[in-house]
Amino acid sequence: MDDFSKTEIEAGRRLFAGDWSFSSAASSLASLPPMAGPEIAFAGRSNVGKSSLINALTGRKALARTSNTPGRTQELIFFRSPDRLVLVDMPGYGYAATAKSKVAAWTRLIHDYLRGRATLARVYVLIDARHGLKETDDGILDALGKAAVSHEIVLTKCDQVDETELGERIEAVKAAIRKRPAAFPDLIATSSRTGAGIDQLRAAVARLLAERPR
């Protein structure tokens, strides 16, 4: 993982320390909110822990609603901070019990969002550390590559694997994403339960926004 200075860690803390709130939900291209501040989106398989990660980043226990039922998030959910940064919780994918027509609609929405959102600074693709990359992740990674959207892997639930297994998982994922030119070559390992990696992810977002043309 990248090393971050104390200054970057503090910048990340301040970036996410504001009073976050739900902004809007979009189920179609027409219902997307107007583009304003920079957007950071989170994608991943159903039940990978997107809502828990958003809550951990913002220090809010229930900003993003978590559920034990896979496939519950069926829209793009937008959360806004006072300094205009927007977090986007994307619909989970790979849930077999979801109707094919609904999956197709979500897929169209995600692809439309990725192609036409000038304010989208980066997509973090969440991967469960217990399982690593799966075939079901190929669709979103292919879409991100075709849309030339900057994206980076975030491992979740890292507290649920031992240190040796985690190290092997990190190296395997890094090897796989080296074949994808639009993917950021490093990754961040996190645990929403213990807080591991949360400071680093905040700092990564702060660094990204600091380097982004205004």
Q: Which residue has the tokens 């990754």?
A: 187
Is residue 1 a part of any domain in this protein?
Answer: no
Compute the mean pLDDT over every residue in the chain, rounded to the nearest whole number. 89
- E-assigned strand segments in the chain: 21-26, 39-44, 76-80, 86-89, 120-128, 151-156, 183-189
Q: Is residue 69 part of a domain?
A: yes
Number of domains in the chain: 1
Structural domain includes residue 165: yes
Percent of the chain with pLDDT over 70: 91
Distance CA 125, CA 144 (A): 10
Q: Hey, what are 172's tokens?
A: 């395997």
Is 101 a domain residue?
yes
Mean pLDDT of 50-61: 94
- Give the residue numbers spanning the domain of 136: 6-209
What's the token pair of residue 207? Answer: 């660094």
Let me know: does 197 contact 184? Beta carbons within 8 Å. no
* Beta-strand pair 151-156/120-128: parallel
Residue 30 inside a domain? The answer is yes
Is 119 a residue whose pLDDT tops 50? yes
CATH number at 155 reads 3.40.50.300
Is this model's pTM higher than 0.85 or not?
Answer: yes
For residue 151, is it within any domain?
A: yes
Residue with tokens 């339960």: 193
Residues 147-166 pLDDT 10s: 999 999 999 999 999 999 99
- Evaluate whether residue 214 is within a structural domain: no
What's the farthest any 2 CA atoms get from each other in the chain? 48
Position 145 scores a pLDDT of: 92
